[in-house]
Homo-oligomer: A and B are copies of this chain.
Amino acid sequence: MNETDPRVIRTRRLLLDAFAGLLKEKGFRAMSVQDIASRATVNRATFYAHFEDKYALMESFIRTGFQQRVAEELSRSAAFTMDNLRLLIGIVLEYLVQVESNQCRGAKQHAEPLFETIIQDELYQILLSWLKQPPPADVRCWAARETAAVAMSWAIFGAGLQWSQSRRNTPAEEMADQMVGLLTHGLFQAMEIEPTQAH
């Protein structure tokens, strides 16, 4: 399928727009391929010529959206610094809130796949590319680059997800600071540190 064909571009745009609209109105779970196609004034069979199913469309939707956000706010192939890390976390928090508000119609904790994990995947790519650059200091090594990147990306994603799905009484700024602290000083230490009132 030729990606430059005007017809293809037009159809893709129609499908994406219809999807975005339905996502806000009825949520992901409630919409059918029928709905998307008819709203896009496109035949249902044509939908399947472009996407495997509505899940694939959703995935593409989230992934490209997040990539755009990152490209806007983060210079390409940035270095691995505290500031950049904090900035990246901020982007994740912001984007998760947006996804959350769209998904709101769908039942939360059911068989609904966790589309947000796509963000973790993107996060992993970014962090790994940062780690591939030679480190400033040369000290002992605790884990493979891949292991560090994957643990970090899931930690950021997971903490962000829980925050975005909670009532968010902690402001995003403060949350990002907490997360940088956790990543910097170690999760394990941070645990023995929280002051506890007896219950």
Contacts and interface: CB of A to CB of B under 8 A. Distances in A.
A52 B143 contact: no
Contacts of A133: 196
A8 interface: no
Interface stretch (A18-26, A31-39, A153-161): A153-161
A102 to B, nearest CB: 18
A182 B120 contact: no
Interface string A120-154: 10000000001111111111111111111111111
A141 B163 CA distance: 18
A118 to B, nearest CB: 11
Interface of A: 52-53, 55-56, 59, 80, 85, 110-114, 117, 120, 130-159, 162-163, 170, 175, 178-196, 198-199
